Amino acid sequence: MEVSAHKTKSGEYQLEIGPVTFELTADATAALSKVISQRLSQSGLDAENLHRKLKAYRAVANKLAYADDAIIQKFSTQLAPEQLITLVRLADGDSLYNKVARNLSKQNRRQFEDDFNGLNKITEHAACLHMEQIVPLIKKTAQEQKALQEINDTG
């Protein structure tokens, strides 16, 4: 969409956005400019927050490569394919991929491998959304597993 602006002979500003034309006073133009500047500077902060979150989620994914197989088995079947693929793609190397594949049934493993090969483009924003949904499930599964382990250790 093309955007253009110019000053009219009457002193107003004319802003054309595609087929729509706005006539703005100098005050309205200044206010619009201020809002645009604020939004642009805010998006820089949003990008920083997004990268900080992704770094933390990447650390979680890397730690899961060393988690008990029982934890992997339990939560991996509860995730949507996009969520599981996101988690595995965030981890460094193939260790989490191999661990997840090893802990799935033969049929689920084939489906996981197909999904992994098919879902090779995940946006950073989508990755954050998926991980925000995954992390509570991982925590819950780990707590349940820890409780089971304590029961087994005492019994």
> pLDDT of 52-61, one tens digit each?
999 999 999 9
Q: How far is CA 40 from CA 24, 29, 36, 46, 64, in A?
A: 21, 16, 6, 10, 36
pLDDT at 144: 86
- What is the mean predicted confidence (pLDDT) over 84-97? 95
The separation between CA 7 and the C-alpha centre of its own chain, rounded to angstroms, equals: 43
Q: Which domain holds residue 136?
A: 46-153
Q: Is residue 15 part of a domain?
A: no
- Local structure of 153: helix, strand or coil: helix
Q: Is residue 130 part of a domain?
A: yes
Residue 5 lies in a domain: no
Predicted local confidence at residue 28, as pLDDT: 86
Residue 20 has pLDDT above 80, yes or no: yes
CATH number at 131 reads: 1.10.220.30
In this prediction, residue 30 has a pLDDT band, given cuts at 50, 70 and 90, of confident
Instruction: Look at residue 117 and tell me if it is in a domain.
Output: yes
- Please report whether residue 125 resides in a domain: yes
Most confident region among 31-35, 91-95, 118-122, 151-155 by mean pLDDT: 91-95
Using alpha carbons, select from 47, 50, 27, 51 the residue that is nearest to residue 39: 47
Q: Is residue 105 predicted with pLDDT exceeding 80? A: yes
Is residue 76 one of the residues assigned to a domain? yes
Number of domains in the chain: 1
What is the rounded average pLDDT for all residues in the chain? 88
Rg of the chain in Å (alpha carbons): 25
Which is nearest to 137 in space by CA: 75, 61, 54?
75
Q: What is the pLDDT of residues 61-76, one digit of tens each?
A: 999 999 889 889 988 8
Greater pLDDT, 111 or 45: 111
Q: Is residue 90 part of a domain?
A: yes
With a cut of 90, say whether residue 133 has pLDDT above it: yes
